[in-house]
Structure 1
């Protein structure tokens, strides 16, 4: 079993193609929906766990929403995003949708939410923060990054891929930098 993270699928939201630079029509979401489903299922096996960090869908009728949900592999969990309305929240998620999740996975502490945070419980230590919402507009730090489809070739991402990208980042988490500066430590020029 693998654990995958993703965010900002925006199934049914044709305008997101234009807003996020996705290579699809901004008038009809059908091709985008089909691509996202195929990309999801190419990465996620039926026994895998998937955390979707918000904005699962928009502009779909409940039956259309359920049909897409049922086609996606894996055990699905949701951190609620600003576009996750009643019909999305009513889907048969593995557990009730939440705004913030703190969980141990793969021997590490993870803080999951739709929104990026400047500080989180464990940010002065080694807790990793994953988020969506920003559609690849924010560079990852050494401890936090966007797991949305627009940052990951329109597909879910594994924990190992997340760790590898964090390790390549030269950006120090803001809270750590501010505390270090206040204590008079050397200022990182990056």
Structure 2
């Protein structure tokens, strides 16, 4: 199975508590990080692929160290495809690649600097960190992160970030930090389209 998530921001202490950007109501980064790991591993097993659409940790170039980020990432189930976010660094990607545990002889990690395009059930997905403006398209969605507290006002842009308000469109609420499945992405897209149509 394939899952999608963005903006985990492991170790990011500035997000703790009430704020206008991405309030994370935890007493410590350790508690926040464990909540993210728990929500991820409750859904994902080692046969699954998770597309992480950027901003793994804050700030992996300085603190925490690349080793600290690796130790978090190694706790996450599944194979992970990383799309580079504005807080990710080539140095971190190279470190993760050099220290890939290679479960079953296959890479656990793969990397894209700009984005990736995949197809699931006749639906084309542009996977990026920053939202794209696609114009008029059919059976095409842009899954992205970067915007923590608001939504792009087009139905083809789906924010899969941990803090995305679009997650509230799901009929069945997920634990905070859960990666999204494709049927949940489609549900969000449909409900978002319905909401935007009412606003016209």
Matches of 1:118 and 1:49, distance apart in 2: 26
> Among 138, 149, 159, which residue is 2:151 paired with?
138
Q: Secondary structure at the match of 1:32?
A: helix
Superposed CA RMSD: 2.0
Aligned position for 1:128: 141
Q: Secondary structure at the match of 2:163?
A: helix
Aligned position for 1:83: 87
Give aligned pairs, total.
Answer: 170
Q: Please, which runs of 5 or more residues in structure 1 have no aligned partner?
A: 173-187
Q: Secondary structure at the match of 1:101?
A: strand
Matches of 1:67 and 1:54, distance apart in 2: 18
Alignment check: 8 A CA contact 1:89 1:97 kept = no
Q: Secondary structure at the match of 1:160?
A: helix
Moved more, 52-61 or 137-146: 137-146
Aligned position for 1:148: 161
Question: Do the aligned partners of residues 7 and 126 (structure 1) sit closer, same or farther apart at CA in structure 2, a change above 3 Å counting?
Answer: same
- What is the CA deviation profile of residues 106-158 of structure 1, one whole-angstrom value per residue up to 9, with x for unaligned ones? 331100100012226xx522211110000131156332210001124322111
Q: Please, which runs of 5 or more residues in structure 2 have no aligned partner?
A: 98-107, 168-175
Greater gyration radius: 1
Counterpart check, 1:166 vs 2:189: yes
Q: Which runs of 4+ in 1 moved over 4 A?
A: none
Q: Secondary structure at the match of 2:51?
A: strand
- TM-score, normalised on structure 1? 0.81
